[in-house]
Chains A and B, each alone.
Chain A
Amino acid sequence: DAGITQSPRHKVTETGTPVTLRCHQTENHRYMYWYRQDPGHGLRLIHYSYGVKDTDKGEVSDGYSVSRSKTEDFLLTLESATSSQTSVYFCAISAGQGDTQYFGPGTRLTVL
């Protein structure tokens, strides 16, 4: 299994509070991704990174920001959480552009 961890694994928070999710990898892969999974939607790309300090938006980036200050960590921040951001969040990594993406265990976030 690819060395990917996500923290926290579960979080309950209130509307309007900031939330940061962390993805950590031990594979030294260049690419990292954040997806969200909602019933009836499959997984959708939020943001991704193609190197340290290099990031780009995905399909559902509104309300989210990311940062990558070192190869192994990719942070997803909800500046002011809303109930519509209740979801399961997955981090993924890949070595190169066309390489297979491997997923972390997911974080279940509930915004009350």
Chain B
Amino acid sequence: AQTVTQSQPEMSVQEAETVTLSCTYDTSESDYYLFWYKQPPSRQMILVIRQEAYKQQNATENRFSVNFQKAAKSFSLKISDSQLGDAAMYFCAYRSAFSGGGADGLTFGKGTHLIIQP
């Protein structure tokens, strides 16, 4: 079974600064998908960014970018120019490219609570 580890339970950053959230995963598969989701106090799960393992290029979405290191099984999220609205729990998630046996679901890390200091 795959596992996802987020080693930082909480991170704090000053507004307008850059912060990097860490995620590592364990898998024997070669093809898979990785995601970062944001969960603000409203509890809604919001997709931040998605990465396909077969793509070498790191995904970016405006101020959000990832550093995907396939060999190291690392998938960190960088948030540039942090804003107060970025304060939330951030979850890293893994999904197999295969189907069946529960593989269609996402495997989540335990999350990182991001605090933005004004």
Contact = CB atoms under 8 A, between A and B. Distances in A.
Interface stretch (B65-73, B78-86, B108-116): B108-116
B50 A103 contact: no
Given A41-B110, A42-B91, A105 B102 contact: no
B52 to A, nearest CB: 8
Contact of B44 (A48, A56, A100, A103): A103
Contacts of A97: 99, 104
A105 B44 contact: yes
A56 B99 CA distance: 11
B107 to A, nearest CB: 8
B105 A48 contact: yes
Contacts of A35: 105-106
Contacts of B37: 103
Interface residues of A, number: 26
Nearest to A108: B43
B35 A100 contact: yes
Nearest to A88: B43
B43 A100 contact: no
Contacts of B50: 100
A108 to B, nearest CB: 8
Contacts of B35: 100
21 contacts: A33-B105, A35-B105, A35-B106, A42-B109, A42-B111, A43-B93, A43-B108, A45-B102, A45-B105, A48-B102, A48-B104, A48-B105, A50-B104, A90-B45, A92-B45, A92-B106, A97-B104, A103-B37, A103-B44, A103-B45, A106-B44
Interface of A: 31, 33, 35, 40-45, 48, 50, 56-59, 88, 90, 92, 97-98, 100-103, 105-106
Interface of B: 4, 33, 35, 37, 43-45, 47, 50, 91, 93, 95, 97, 99-102, 104-111
